[in-house]
């Protein structure tokens, strides 16, 4: 019965591109692996990694010389490394991170068949490679899970106590909950994220489209509520399941998150800061108690007694002179700041525009990726 149920669940969840969008060959001059159908990059390593389930998965590792952190990206359904390749390179560049992406067993040129347990072994193999081959420490890793990728991401995150952070992109509460509004977790369900996210100790950023017609936005919102260490979520207005990268706020919010994580020496400090921003309204600018009217009046009278008054004309002239100087100084400062802000905004806009244009040409997901085989569309 268990095997039959697992087989049924797999048909609901996994849709590897057929045929794969890329091949893997050995470069004669260097003996290194490279992907066909994509442009070779000097800062990208192509790897084949053995898993404890006996399969061999294909992975890419994108290096960024300015990186402090490393993202381990688990992609969504109906996508493989060939389709995700340019996105990985662009994310590494814009976020200033090293990035490893991998294909699940049975996806792309990875061997074996896709299953829940195989994906857990797949992400473990990728994580082990980061530690053993690239010397990445657990506290410098951010796990990123998109759609079905939220399953292996949260499974691993729930078992790593010093992980730096987690990003969940259009995540699912569980496989069964995508199809049916069940109120409890059944033993035969897959990717029980709803039960695993309370075990995650690091900050969690959730990104979900409000118009997602594959995985309802309520999945992301409930996972946010269940997170221990909440970071300000991003609910993308009108965003669907497979187009969030096209919205400018996607990359802006991610950059803000990465920056906050980088600046913190402890992930708990980041989480505390984010919780304060979410849960507490901004305090009044002036928090100091004001002196009573009587006290202020006494202070004014005392000052007047101690200091002889200058003539009204002299004070007016002095004040006018100071005002002119201050206005002139502020005008120069504001002009400089305006120029700086304009240059920074222009750079950011061009960077985001390039990212959006690149993403429009990519096919990242089959919109029917969670519909059962044979279902009417």
Catalytic positions are 147, 212, 241
The dihedral built from the CA positions of residue 138, 139, 144 and 149, taken in this order, carries a sign that is: positive
Kind of pairing, strands 56-62 and 98-102? antiparallel
Report the distance separating Cα 80 and Cα 135, nearest Å.
26
The answer to whether 207 touches 171, Cβ cutoff 8 Å, is: no
Q: Closest Cα to residue 22, out of 49, 76, 72, 59?
A: 59
Report the distance separating Cα 141 and Cα 12, nearest Å.
30
Q: Residue 32 has which token pair?
A: 């290194």
Residue 307, Cβ density class (10 Å: 0-12 exposed, 13-18 middle, ≥19 buried):
exposed
DSSP helix/strand/coil, 66: coil
Q: Closest Cα to residue 208, out of 179, 177, 174, 249?
A: 249
Report the distance separating Cα 214 and Cα 189, nearest Å.
18
The answer to whether 238 touches 213, Cβ cutoff 8 Å, is: no
The answer to whether 93 touches 118, Cβ cutoff 8 Å, is: no
Q: Closest Cα to residue 174, out of 372, 370, 377?
A: 370
Q: Closest Cα to residue 11, out of 308, 259, 370, 312?
A: 370
CB atoms within 10 A of CB 261: 21
**Residue 112 CA, distance from chain mean position:** 29
Paired residues of 115 in beta bridges: none
Residue 306, Cβ density class (10 Å: 0-12 exposed, 13-18 middle, ≥19 buried):
exposed
């Amino acid at each position: 019965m268990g095997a039959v149920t697992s087989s049924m669940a797999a048909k609901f969840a996994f849709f590897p591109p057929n045929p794969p969008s890329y091949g893997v060959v050995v470069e004669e001059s260097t003996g290194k692996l490279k992907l066909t159908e994509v442009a070779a990059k000097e800062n990208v390593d192509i790897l084949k990694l053995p898993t404890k389930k006996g399969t061999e998965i294909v992975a890419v590792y994108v290096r960024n010389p300015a990186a402090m952190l490393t993202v381990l990206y688990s992609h969504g359904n109906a996508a493989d490394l060939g389709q995700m390749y340019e996105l990985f390179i662009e994310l590494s560049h814009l976020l200033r991170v090293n990035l490893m992406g991998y294909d699940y067993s049975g996806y792309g040129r990875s061997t074996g068949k896709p299953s829940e347990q195989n994906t857990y072994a797949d992400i473990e193999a990728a994580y082990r490679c980061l530690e053993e081959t690239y010397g990445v420490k657990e506290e410098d890793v951010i796990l990123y899970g998109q759609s079905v990728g939220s399953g292996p991401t949260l499974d691993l995150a729930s078992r790593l106590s010093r992980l730096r952070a987690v990003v969940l992109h259009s995540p699912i509460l569980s496989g069964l909950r995508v199809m049916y509004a069940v109120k409890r977790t059944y033993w035969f369900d897959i990717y029980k994220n709803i039960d695993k996210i309370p075990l995650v100790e690091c900050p969690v950023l959730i990104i979900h489209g409000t118009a997602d017609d594959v995985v309802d936005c309520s999945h992301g919102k409930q996972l946010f509520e269940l997170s221990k260490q909440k970071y300000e979520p991003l609910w993308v207005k009108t965003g669907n399941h497979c187009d969030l990268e096209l919205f400018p706020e996607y990359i802006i919010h991610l950059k803000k998150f990465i920056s906050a994580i980088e600046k913190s020496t402890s992930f708990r400090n980041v989480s505390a800061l984010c919780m304060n921003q979410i849960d507490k309204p901004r305090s009044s600018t002036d928090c100091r108690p004001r002196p009573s009217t009587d006290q202020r009046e006494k202070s004014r009278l005392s000052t007047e007694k101690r200091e002889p008054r200058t003539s009204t004309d002299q004070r007016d002239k002095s004040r006018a002179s100071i005002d002119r100087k201050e206005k002139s100084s502020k005008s120069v400062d504001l002009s400089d700041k305006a120029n700086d802000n304009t240059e920074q905004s222009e750079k950011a806009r061009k960077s985001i525009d390039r990212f959006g244009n690149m993403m429009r040409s990519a096919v990242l997901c089959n919109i029917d990726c969670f519909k059962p085989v044979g279902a009417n569309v």
